[in-house]
Structure 1
């Protein structure tokens, strides 16, 4: 349906279907880029698609569409409301697919449109590019709903780490509760979070690798299938949080006035000695 509609403007390697058109349509992204292109498309009555390194603009069949509003600001606001409504209606899949009992194609993960720029071939694959690999992963259900689900273990990890740190401060260091809940950049807490997220990432990568090996055994070493299975197992919410925590730790080391490094190392040494002698 989608390929036939845009047949005159699509490149030969651009195949749009009901399972991937949300990924290719820039107006379907729930981020700033999606908002901008949605309003532009509504003003010009076009559709903008981005896939496999190609940016394509196609004229819509309805030539009589016009944004409501008596001035530019009103029309932009109308376009914004249309975008919000469209995003909300597609967040859990198209209504037609849901009525048939199917999961339906949800919204792409915010910021992932950049992967459609990576149109270079992967080694040991049959003309498989990063953009095509991401498209296949999306078609398997790795959409914004799945990303939201991956945030649950990340939130639990964050809360448990902070809770354990608070217990140590209250019961071991005898820190007043009012001081514990006071928002501040605590070096010990930052390192605990970095270690917990680093461990989490190691487990996540190990799980993805195990499933990739299993897929490789089943498919006789099909590298494309191994990559797709491994990527679909990764927790996409975890790694930005780990990167942020790593950045905070690097900045703490760079700006040594935040805490005394030597004093902190001596404290860790005394803690290890206490644990060893207990």
Structure 2
């Protein structure tokens, strides 16, 4: 077969995939898989920590935390004097305690009193502080704010639909940024990322005080990725509570990352079963080669089967939540506790993906009309507008890079000057005094707070002569 024939055959297959239609068997398979996954969700997931799958994910998370703690303890080169336990952590409580002291962070406030002006977030407690603190989110948002908080010595929270940044009490008392390690900007960022990951693991199954031997609680875990964005949404009142308040109360009931893993299992079962059956049907019934039966988003019929299967799962999940809420005479919190958030989020993603694939040109036209209305198309075409935005992005990247290099250079100069001041072998006392005064002035210290001689220092200490 010539190169032209191969390309033509490949193009024909692509057209066939894009225009493939579901038959009645495809619809039956999708509904059956979605219905089966919905039954699994209803009877084996349930509310946080109650269903069989939830209990299994809780136990798996506990075992994972213990294994990671033991692995890190084995490679810990510190002595027992420096904080390394003499014996490997053999209980969950000891494992969490070891991780907590190995990966401390400045933003781990549990109450408002742990923060300067903490009355602005008085509703924070050990049950919800992982949700209100953005740096505790196990996603890109959490990573970003963790690095920012560790560099600045502040803590970022969501309160009443707004971001607020507060200073931890112990940082203000010590007048320094806590826990930062590394010798330059890059190493500090790397250490900050490692510290964020280690602290997340320590919080996955609750704190050491809530997971003591003999206690039966699950502990306050981590939020599901991007769950804290619900705290920024104003969707009205539900049973006299705002949507953000309901999201917080649901989290306090245990709707955390461990429960999210349990909710993901029925979704995985539904999608994998549909893909496996679809691939077998394509090979055995349609007589296609295995290389053409690999499930992907290119196949229009498979996309539709996944959408129908997931919609069936969500339908069963919603009916089950409504029935259980009605039986218990519950409220919106009870209803949402029985919902599978992972399944509903996946359904939304599938719907938007299909709309983008099928009506992408219409979306581009709508964007073009919008740009024309605001006057951009009077001077530029849509393509030129995108090129201009790309140029601006590149310029901003260059400015940020230059700024980063300047900060790093300033930091190196500061460290060199400080070392010169403190190391008596490099200078005379008079030179050290001059450099120290210059550093203080540069850092903005008031003139009356700068000591230029030992006599001034003794006078300030009260040794008056």
Indicate the TM-score class for this superposition, using the shorter chain for normalisation.
0.7 to 0.9
- Report the Cα offset of residue 184 of structure 1: 6.0
1:196 is the counterpart of 2:301: no
Q: Does 114-123 or 31-40 show the bigger shift?
A: 114-123
SS in 1 for 2:332: helix
Preserved contact between residue 107 and residue 144 of structure 1 (Cα < 8 Å): yes
Residues 197-252 of structure 1, C-alpha deviations (whole Å, 9 max, x = no match)? 11111111111111221232xxxxxxxx5100111111111122222322343344
1:140 aligns with 2:245: no
**C-alpha distance in 2 between matches for 1:54 and 1:77:** 29
Q: Number of residue pairs matched?
A: 245
The answer to whether the 8 Å contact 1:48/1:55 transfers is: yes
Residues 253, 103 of structure 1: CA spacing in aligned structure 2 closer, same or farther, 3 A cutoff? same
Corresponding residue to 2:197 among 60, 76, 84: 84
The residue correspondences of 1:14-25 to structure 2 (distance < 5 A) are: 14-25=122-133
Gap runs ≥5 in structure 2: 1-109, 362-465
Post-superposition shift, 1:120?
A: 5.8
Q: Decide which of 350, 353, 360 is 1:245's aligned counterpart.
A: 350
- What CA distance in whole angstroms lies between the structure 2 residues aligned with 1:98 and 1:91? 11
**Could you tell me which of 263, 266, 276 is aligned with 1:163?**
276
Contact in 2 for aligned 1:52/1:119 (Cα 8 Å)? no
Question: Is 2:229 the partner of 1:114?
Answer: yes
Post-superposition Cα deviations, 1:61-94, rounded to whole Å, max 9, x if no partner, equal 1424251222222222221111111011111221
Question: Which of 325, 329, 332 is equivalent to 1:212?
Answer: 325
SS at match of 1:95: coil
TM-score by length of 2: 0.49
Aligned match of 2:117: 8
Could you tell me the TM-score, scaled by structure 1's length? Answer: 0.80
Partner of 1:46: 154
Distance 1:59 1:245 in 2: 41
Match of 1:229 among 334, 343, 347: 334
C-alpha displacement at 1:97, in angstroms? 1.2
Partner SS state of residue 57, structure 1: strand
